Copies of this chain bind each other. A is one copy, B any other.
Amino acid sequence: MIDKLPTLNRLLKQLQRVPYLASKNLYRVAHHFLEMDERAMQEFCRSLTDLLAQVVKCSQCSAWKERDRGCSFCDDPKRDRSVICVVESWHDLYALERSCCYQGLYHVLGGALSPLDGIGPDNLAIDSLLQRMQGECKEIILAMNQTPEGEATAALVARKLQSTSVTITCLARGMPVGSSLEFMDKSTLHKAITERRNF
């Protein structure tokens, strides 16, 4: 049936590439666009093209910034310039920012080592991190995800930073707040026991 609607089919193919859009919902999303009026559609398309034109990566930390404005982190005099928190992606940075628990600078690697996905050391912004070591930085927090890829990436970054004099730290691991031992997975319990701290 959908073969008889090539224009719709073309949009569906494009929507398939949008992440976190379940294929079972594609038709409902397409319907949302079909029901839009012309003005709303123009506005939506303008938002998209403006996005590409206006939002760029910060040359220092690789976080997204507006082309004609400073970086929210690197150019903010209130942020602590002696700490750099290294994260895999912009989503991770955003999660930390939401928690309001960190006031230092960031460095977005742009992913984690994943040979199966073709992501090697050269695909990550490690060189630009090393360049930043010449500044005021005294501590690097490795805030990668607790996945095999994240841990491999953290190990790589730590090795590359070995020759510098900065302190290298990583996030605490253990039981999440609000969790019960009963429902916790074995690996987390293992970390919680072996990396236990004084009460």
Contacts and interface: CB of A to CB of B under 8 A. Distances in A.
Interface of A: 1-2, 4-8, 10-11, 14, 17-22, 25, 27-34, 36, 38, 41-45, 47-52, 54-55, 64-66, 69, 72, 89-91, 94, 97
Chain B CB within 10 Å — which of A1, A6, A69 has the most? A1
Nearest to A90: B31
Given A19-B28, A22-B20, A28-B19, A5 B66 contact: yes
14 contacts: A5-B55, A5-B66, A7-B50, A7-B55, A10-B50, A11-B51, A14-B43, A19-B29, A19-B32, A21-B29, A33-B51, A33-B52, A41-B52, A45-B49
Interface residue SS majority, chain A: helix
Contacts of A17: 32
How many copies altogether?
A: 2
A8 B51 contact: yes
Contacts of A72: 1, 4-5
A11 B141 CA distance: 31
B21 A65 contact: no
Nearest to A56: B34
A194 to B, nearest CB: 31
B34 A41 contact: no
Given A5-B64, A64-B5, A51 B30 contact: yes
A52 B66 contact: no
B47 A6 contact: no
Contacts of A2: 94
Given A4-B69, A41-B52, A49-B41, A91 B28 contact: yes
B94 A7 contact: no
Contact of A5 (B18, B33, B34, B65): B65
A65 B91 CA distance: 39
A38 B54 CA distance: 12
